[in-house]
Chain A
Amino acid sequence: AQSVTQPDIHITVSEGASLELRCNYSYGATPYLFWYVQSPGQGLQLLLKYFSGDTLVQGIKGFEAEFKRSQSSFNLRKPSVHWSDAAEYFCAVGKDDKIIFGKGTRLHILP
């Protein structure tokens, strides 16, 4: 069955440190891949997406993600986090008129 796994429910990093949020998926074919961010009480905002082509994808707010087909992963990275990055992050996969979201990773930033 198709699934998306975000193994880390919570992650805490210091402001200015680098960040990597993990996402693994199980899908029959290469799906479309997305990362969304949600601030408290708000909707989800698309950070970046991968449909095809270059496996390193640049997004908004300084985020990037790398698609690794061999590992079925689409990890989100940022070289230096800011306090405003504290939020919940969702990985999602889509194909054939269906989209599946991971459970989310809540990012905490230490001053």
Chain B
Amino acid sequence: KAGVTQTPRYLIKTRGQQVTLSCSPISGHRSVSWYQQTPGQGLQFLFEYFSETQRNKGNFPGRFSGRQFSNSRSEMNVSTLELGDSALYLCASSSLGQGTEAFFGQGTRLTVV
């Protein structure tokens, strides 16, 4: 069974640009959650999608958005990038939803310069 796939693995963007990250969950999993991980703040929850609906949302500005497609693949978008958005972005999938066993992808390392 293939694991959670995140693309791309690495990205370098300039301040003010926007970026789209992709996550393909484990086959059959309907829940996809996104996290931002930085050395200073640790793991911070961005949002969770379940069957194409955003079910939970963390405390991030509206520049951070996401969506989920009918095949459960998810994308997150960050607009008007800031230096502080540099982080490892992790995607996790689960069959039952956040709060149960989650499987993580390897992450996308975003660097904003």
Establish whether residues A32 and B43, one from each chain, have CB atoms under 8 Å apart when the complex forms: no
Given contacts A94-B99, A97-B99, contact A43 B106 (CB under 8 A): yes
- Which of A32, A36, A43, A95 has most chain B Cβ within 10 Å? A43
Number of A-B contacts (CB under 8 A): 52
Interface residues on B, range: 20 to 34
Establish whether residues B98 and A41, one from each chain, have CB atoms under 8 Å apart when the complex forms: no
A56 interfacial contact with B, CB 8 Å: no
CA distance A111 to B96 in the complex (A): 42
Within 8 A of A (CB), among B69-113: 88, 90, 92, 97-107, 109
Of the candidates B88, B102, B105, B109, the one whose C-beta lies within 8 Å of that of A99 is B102
Establish whether residues A32 and B100, one from each chain, have CB atoms under 8 Å apart when the complex forms: yes
Of the candidates A41, A44, A104, the one whose C-beta lies within 8 Å of that of B104 is A44
CA distance A42 to B102 in the complex (A): 15
A101 interfacial contact with B, CB 8 Å: yes
B18 interfacial contact with A, CB 8 Å: no
B interface residues with partner A (beta carbon < 8 Å) = 4, 6, 33, 42-43, 45, 48, 55-56, 88, 90, 92, 97-107, 109
A interface residues with partner B (beta carbon < 8 Å) = 31-32, 34, 36, 41-46, 49, 90, 94-99, 101, 103-104
